[in-house]
């Protein structure tokens, strides 16, 4: 089964290939295509953005497409940065810039009120216009000091009380098992396994 992943990010493609290993899925990167249309992520939710990406790329490639969208929502900030997670501090913002801005907005807010969750939406879109979607959340708290060197994005300040670690202090195997992305992919994998059985 051939699936085009709606991203040219080789790191992500590699990670997802590993998650789907042994399932008879050939995951193709968008890097293999030229003239890929630019997609404006103007949806209001992670799911809307993933669906838009998946639909556009399926129309462009004529193949089944997998698209994802993810980000961090902080309750006390009304869900910010949400769908703007990657560009919270501006179009060219680094992870550090985004973390600094988030922490400045949470100044004086006590830890017990700093609840947050990561969300990952996945859409598997077929050329006939039918699709399956999966969504998963990962709850934690935003802490003031950065801890750990693993991961990316907001991982150093995303603290998971049950595991007594930030996401950046977790080994990749652990993070991939418990995270929003790991859980959404577990759902996708289960659905694909069911389909491939029938
Ligand atoms: P995208 O899904 O590649 O568009 O990523 C959106 C943004 O959300 C990333 O650039 C990060 O800032 C943030 N994000 C999503 N998932 C994670 C995660 O697992 N750890 C840390 N930050 C994340």
Give the pLDDT band (50/70/90) at residue 135.
Answer: very high
170 CB-near residues (< 8 Å, 6+ apart): 148, 150, 151, 163, 178
Phi, psi of 4 (to 5 degrees): -90, 130
User: For residue range 48-107, what is the model confidence (pLDDT) as tens digits?
Assistant: 999 999 999 999 999 999 999 999 999 999 999 999 999 999 999 999 999 999 999 999
Write down the pLDDT at residue 194: 86
Q: Look at the chain and count its residues.
A: 198
How many domains, the chain?
1
Helix (H, G, I), strand (E, B) or coil at 142: strand
Report pLDDT for 198: 72
Ligand 1 centre and the CA of 75: distance in Å? Answer: 17
Residue 64, ligand 1, Cβ within 6 A = no
Q: Does 16 have pLDDT greater than 90?
A: no
Write down the pLDDT at residue 20. 87
Which one of 53, 54, 72, 155 would you pick to mutate in the ligand 1 pocket, going by the greatest count of ligand atoms within 8 A of its CB? 72
Ligand 1: which of 95, 121, 146, 153 to mutate, most ligand atoms within 8 Å of CB? 153
Range of the domain at 92: 2-197
> pTM of this prediction?
0.93
Q: Is 60 helix (H, G, I), strand (E, B) or coil?
A: helix
- In the beta sheet, which residues pair with residue 142? 158
| Local confidence band at 126 (pLDDT 50, 70, 90 cut-offs) | very high
Percent composition of the chain: helix, strand, coil (DSSP 3-state, to 5) = 45, 25, 35
The set of catalytic residues is 69
How far, in Å, CA of 33 to CA of 102, rounded? Answer: 36
- Partners of 81 in beta bridges: 73
29 CA distance to ligand 1 centroid (A)? 19
Ligand 1 atom closest to 180 (CA): 19
Q: Please report, for the domain that includes residue 73, its CATH number.
A: 3.90.950.10
């Amino acid at each position: 089964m051939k699936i085009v992943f709606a991203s040219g990010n080789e790191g992500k493609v590699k990670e997802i290939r590993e998650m789907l290993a042994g399932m008879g899925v050939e995951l193709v990167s968008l890097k293999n295509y030229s003239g890929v249309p630019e997609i404006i992520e103007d949806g209001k939710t992670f799911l809307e953005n993933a669906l838009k990406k998946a639909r556009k790329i399926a129309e462009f490639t004529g193949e089944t497409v997998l698209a994802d969208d993810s980000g961090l929502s902080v309750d006390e900030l009304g869900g910010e940065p949400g769908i703007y997670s990657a560009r919270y501090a501006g179009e060219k913002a680094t992870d550090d810039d985004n973390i600094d801005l988030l922490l400045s907005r949470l100044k004086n807010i006590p830890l017990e009120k700093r609840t947050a969750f990561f969300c990952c939406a996945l859409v598997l879109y077929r050329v006939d216009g039918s699709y399956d979607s999966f969504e998963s959340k990962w709850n934690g708290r935003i802490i003031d000091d950065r801890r750990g060197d693993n991961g990316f994005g907001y991982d150093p300040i995303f603290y998971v009380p049950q595991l007594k670690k930030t996401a950046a202090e977790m080994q990749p195997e652990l993070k991939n098992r418990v995270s929003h992305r790991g859980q959404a992919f577990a759902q996708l994998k289960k659905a694909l396994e069911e389909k491939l059985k029938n």
